Amino acid sequence: MADQPFGKILLWLVAVGMIALALWQASEAIWGYHNRSGGKRVRKQVSSGAKAVVYAALGVGAALVAVGSGSSSSQSQQEATSGVLAWPGGQVIVVVAALVIIGVGVAGVVKGVRKSFAEEIDTSAMSPTAQSAVARLGQVGYIARGLALGVVGGLLGYAALTFDAQQAKGLDGAMRTTLQQPFGQFLLTAVALGFVAFGLFAFLQARYRRM
């Protein structure tokens, strides 16, 4: 993206959007979910905290590429991972980070399969056909995003367990790894369509989200 016309502008938009999402999720983790109690509220707060970390990492990675500090999010993640692995207990820290990312990915897939995202968006004013389309967009989008984050977390965990920072990849590296697999082109196309679906759902969610 950085090499395309207006690519750096797009990267800055991505960075600002991701940081905004991170701040929102962080505020939810600290002050949100007062309509829940006990363990349910704690689970929601932990989930929002994990999302805040993931969004912040993606936002910082996009910003670093935009300012020319790195050629890709994968390179930035490799450098960060190699530095963390050198710390006392660094391997454990990276494994925990990987598990958090995988957990967020799995939660996204579960949310998509169960359609539990429906409680976050008010579609009562829509026609039955529109409601069905919104539900399908959310389902496909959450599953695709969850699978992509799962791949990123898996590669990061593998890097920690093998002490090989070269195996630590960002989202772009995860997509390249997917592309190299049998039927990788078809898998990557499916993930891309899933992200498009999630993006469209996110626009609708911004308009009709239950507050």
In the prediction, which pLDDT does 40 show?
83
Alpha helical stretches, state H, 35-170: 38-66, 73-85, 90-114, 128-162
Closest Cα partner for 208 from 107, 104, 138, 152?
A: 138
Percent of the chain with pLDDT over 70: 83
Alpha helices in 67-127 (DSSP H): 73-85, 90-114
> Would you kindly state where each structural domain of the chain is located, as residue ranges?
1-71, 88-211
The pLDDT tens digits of the residues spanning 92-150 come to: 877 888 888 888 889 889 999 999 888 888 888 888 898 999 999 999 999 988 888 88
pLDDT recorded at residue 109 = 93
